[in-house]
Amino acid sequence: MTTTTGSVRSEIVAGSTADFMLVRHVSASGSQAEIGRVLAEEARSTYGWSPVPTGDRVLARARRRWFERNWPQHHARLQGVAEAAGVDYEADAFHLDGLTGVPDGSACSAAYCPPGSTAEGHALLGRNYDFFTTSQAALFAMLAGHQVEDAGPPMAARPYVLASVPDDGPATTLITMNELDGCMEGVNEHGLAVALLIADGENASAPIDAWPQVGLASAQLPRFLLDTCASVEDAKAALLDAKQYDLGTPLHYLVGDASGAAFVWERGPGGDEHITESDGALCVTNHLLHRNPDVAALPEDNEESMLSYQRYRRLHGSTGGAMSAVRLRESLDEIRFDAATAESYPVRTLWRTVFDLQDRSMSTHFFLGEDETGLRYSEELVFTAVH
């Protein structure tokens, strides 16, 4: 089904209500405020979102002013969200970002391959998005050591591909599992791509019950970079300058651009910041790279590590030589989660994405379910970030 209204186009591009996942692609152009209204309306119709009272207007005002100074694109989109919700943005009475009620985080594997190492001569960034197939209540209970009957809808069953073509900034295309004002991964028209992953899978926990803080939340950080940066050097400077916080499991981020530059951004428990780079391919899974710089010295996996060390060794080994987009897809498929590799965990590779940063493209297939023959995915879909 496809609907088009003015500068907005919305269509289902993968799956159906009979599958595990139904994926909607929404394209919006115009002012950032107009794009914000579109996101709010989608969040309301899909997730039942509504504004949450702040409880602390001083904090809410500080957040609003921080966005205005440091992330004006998001600030303007929130004005559109406020209009869609029928509230006064500057009254600071409601939180207008976090356009869902579902938590962030994932397992995941990702790799960046510079243009000199690929058959196409293009920089490539690939990732598996690995996440739980359960409801929110079942996941929280599992993380707390309890079991509940899982009768709720799966948390990851309604992802979005969002394409924005704003009047005053770079075009972006991105995937979000849940939060329509953040993203799990994406690329902008400059050829900058970002992907988030759990940073310390062995110590993963449920998101905490806390108010948003001043600065960037975990799932907002990739969107911030896509809105404001054109290169890896821009992204480094932006992250070193920006306030950041976690609501639950800390994440780390793989950032790469079309020139051949890439880095992994990590923050330690005390807020200390780390940038990890490589002369060649750069891989990341679910352990902190700055604590484990030597692949030969990685420990063995345990019950809580979600095969992070094994996946890293295999991905590091397969991307160390000549690469291509086809081989990168194969490397990611070789370490994806299915019923056998996930063992007792209700985790599957929910999508696989390969970014071609020269073409500003994002190619993704989505998990639809599994049967006796194995995992079922949609056909691979290609999206681009262009004006």
pLDDT at 139: 67
Give how far Cα 191 sits from Cα of 9, 123, 163, 183, 386, Å. Answer: 23, 9, 15, 17, 10
**Is the confidence at residue 305, as pLDDT, over 80?**
yes
- Per DSSP, the chain holds a count of helices (H) and strands (E) of 9, 19
Contact 73, 166 (CB under 8 A): yes
Q: Is the pLDDT of residue 207 over 80?
A: no
- Cβ within 8 Å of residue 35, ≥6 positions away: 28, 29, 77, 80, 164, 166
Contact 264, 294 (CB under 8 A): no
pLDDT (tens digit, 9 = 90+) per residue, 344-385? 788 999 999 999 999 999 999 999 999 888 999 999 999 999
C-alpha separations of 20 from 10, 59, 133, 134, 159 in Å: 20, 39, 9, 11, 11
Q: Once rounded to an integer, what is the mean pLDDT over residues 202-212?
A: 64
Taking the C-alpha atoms of residue 347 and residue 367, their distance in angstroms, rounded to an integer, is 12
Per the structure, how many domains does the chain have?
1
pLDDT band at 209, cuts 50/70/90?
Answer: low
Give strand ranges (E) for 61-116. Answer: 94-95, 109-113
Say how far apart CA 71 and CA 306 lie, in whole Å.
35
Could you give the CA distance from residue 112 to residue 260 in angstroms, rounded to a whole number?
Answer: 9
- The top-scoring range by mean pLDDT among 42-46, 111-115, 174-178, 268-272 is 111-115
Region 107-134 average pLDDT: 95
Is it the case that residue 47 has pLDDT exceeding 70? Answer: yes
Please check the confidence at residue 259 and state whether its pLDDT lies above 90.
Answer: yes
At 304, the pLDDT band (50, 70, 90 cuts) reads: confident
Q: What percent of the chain has pLDDT over 70?
A: 91
Residue 105 is part of a domain; what is its CATH number? 3.60.60.10
CA distance 257 to 348: 28
Number of CB atoms found within 10 A of residue 386's CB = 13
What pTM does this model have?
Answer: 0.94
Of the two residues 172 and 153, the one the predictor is more confident about is: 172
Q: Which domain holds residue 124?
A: 2-384
Which residues touch 369 (CB under 8 Å, ≥6 apart)? 19, 20, 375, 376
Q: How confident is the model at residue 190 (pLDDT cuts 50, 70, 90)?
A: very high
Chain segment 128-169, per-residue pLDDT in tens: 999 989 877 666 666 656 676 666 788 899 999 999 999 999
